[in-house]
Amino acid sequence: MAKRDYYETLEVNRNASETEIKKAYRRLALKYHPDKNAGNKEAEEVFKEITEAYAVLSDPQKRATYDQFGHAGLEGGGFSSGGFGGGSPFDDIFGDIFGDIFGSAGARRGRGRRGDDLRYNLTISFEEAAFGVETTIQIPRHQTCETCQGSGARPGTSASTCQTCRGAGQVRYQQGFFSLTRPCPDCGGAGKVIDSPCADCRGAGRVRGKKNLSLKIPAGVETGSRLKLHAEGEPGLQGGAPGDLYVVITVKDHPIFRREGQNVICEIPISFPQAALGCELEVPTLDGKVKLKVPPGTQSGKMLQLTGKGIPVLQGYGRGDQLVVLRVETPSRLTARQKELLEEFARESGEDGHPQGKSFFDKVKEIFG
């Protein structure tokens, strides 16, 4: 019987990309795989066809030959519907697409599984974020069992070689025209069986506990910053590497400062006489109080800059600035004498004393008449 067109077999167009071909093969292989169609000879034949088609169309050189000469161009090249000659491209297909189905990836993971990563949420003050701090944190996590030193076996005993897999950690069986491997069901891929489990860890090799860690927070961190502590996560299983610990920073709000990038913003109220006549203020900064001159005629919202009084650059050099925003405060309670003086001031100042207001109302008059 004549072979079907490979593109038709995979249900793709002749100009399909490598990604489209791979997706098509994955979908069809999952549908017709022998594991899901036990005893179904028709499904097994379809699986062979789509596997053969994928082996050709996923190889640029074979695909070019097939596109030019069809099936005849592949004859005599060590490739046939019954199997694969030389280095089988199915090895890559098997590992990439069917690892989870057949359990081959699980078998590789069976020996020495890496420990889980952990997350610790740490809240620090505004000043600690600005200048850094050294602190100690306590992490709840599993630890290697001291009784059995992580072996899982009762002291004085040891794990024995698994008789099912003979220590390989995986078993091999024949399925259709190829062989498959899966983690050993008796030892879970460890290759060894614990006959006398440790009483403290019950054979797990680790117990729940807590660990104190010294942590150095660098200057300049902000909310959302993450610090990675290598190998301080959960210990691995069966000799696997430990996971990592991620410390996620949250910075508390400050009562008078707020942060914008590397700059610190501080709003300071001043009185009308101070704004009008000018003055010298004592301004709080992260480094302590400093003197700041306010020029005469200062308007509410004016921003003055204190160079180098901001947040240090994280893992870099220099600091941002502190920006002081002046807010002119209007008195809410006036004595009779104060009202009298202000009324006299208003009469004396006239329009020339409020140039911004005059300019605004002149524009209003131009627009609205």
- Tokens 């740490």 belong to residue: 122
Name the burial class of residue 205, with classes exposed (0-12), middle (13-18) and buried (19+) by CB atoms within 10 angstroms of its CB: buried
| 193 is a domain residue | no
How many CB atoms within 10 Å of residue 294?
Answer: 20
What residues does 136 pair with on adjacent strands? 214
So what's the pLDDT on residue 310? 97
Domain membership flag for residue 122: no
CATH number, domain with residue 30: 1.10.287.110
Asked whether residue 152 carries a pLDDT value surpassing 90, the answer given is: no
Tell me the CATH number at 307.
Answer: 2.60.260.20
Of all residues in the chain, the percent with pLDDT exceeding 90 is 42
- pLDDT tens-place string over residues 240-292: 788 999 999 999 999 999 999 999 999 999 999 999 999 999 999 999 999 99
Residue predicted with more confidence, 358 or 218: 218
pLDDT of residue 174: 65
Do residues 264 and 322 touch, judged by C-beta distance below 8 A?
Answer: yes
- pLDDT, one tens digit per residue, over 80-123 is 433 433 333 443 444 444 444 444 444 344 456 788 899 999 99
Write down which residue in 102, 135, 165 finishes a domain.
102
In a domain, residue 245? The reply is no
- Distance of alpha carbon 301 from alpha carbon 265, whole angstroms: 12
pLDDT tens digits, residue range 230-242?
999 988 776 678 8
Q: Which of 87, 102, 117 is the last residue of a domain?
A: 102
What mean pLDDT is predicted for residues 314-329?
94
> For residue 335, is it within any domain?
yes
DSSP alpha helix (H) spans, the chain: 6-10, 18-32, 41-57, 60-69, 90-97, 99-102, 104-110, 126-131, 272-277, 336-349, 355-368
Domain end, chosen from 102, 134, 162, is at 102
Q: Which domain holds residue 19?
A: 6-102
